[in-house]
Amino acid sequence: MIDFAEHNSQSTQNSLRLQQFVDFYNALSASNLADLSRLYHQDVVFVDPVHQIKGLQGLQSYFEHAYERLNSCHFTPVQQAGTAEQGFISWRMRLSHPAINKGELFDVEGCSELRWHQDGRIIYHRDYYDLTDMVYRHIPLLGWLTAKVKQKMAQD
């Protein structure tokens, strides 16, 4: 038999954790990267289409580099689901970086898979997004080429 009170409590806790995750990232900047230890466990594993990082120190170094020149970055949650141990959240990221898209704002859609340690901090974080959408389409020749390849694949 399903205990709906327990299910609703877990659902509320998961929603709260995922909202805190989004809020944390929307407040993150080069000046407050030390706060990563409030969100992430010391032994965190972070994976995205470009990196696989083990440990909080490596993650902090990654973000130091990533936020060094970032003009702006904002996440809007789209959908979410999860349990007491893990959560999934799809998002739309709007960002501006001087090395991408001539510094103009652009959007990237993606999803994060999160697993929590017993202490409530994130022990595993994996981001899924289309690297072509984020970077390659903004490089003149590569953008044109990847668009043509996608077009060709859609026809076959």
pLDDT tens for each residue of 125-139: 999 998 766 555 555
pLDDT at 12: 78
Nearest CA to 61 out of 40, 34, 43 is that of 34
What pTM did the predictor assign? Answer: 0.81
CATH number at residue 96: 3.10.450.50
Domain membership of residue 79 as a residue range: 4-155
DSSP secondary structure code for residue 81 in this structure = E
Domain count across the chain: 1
Count Cα atoms within 13 angstroms, Cβ side, for 115.
Answer: 9
pLDDT tens for each residue of 33-63: 999 999 999 999 999 999 999 999 999 999 9
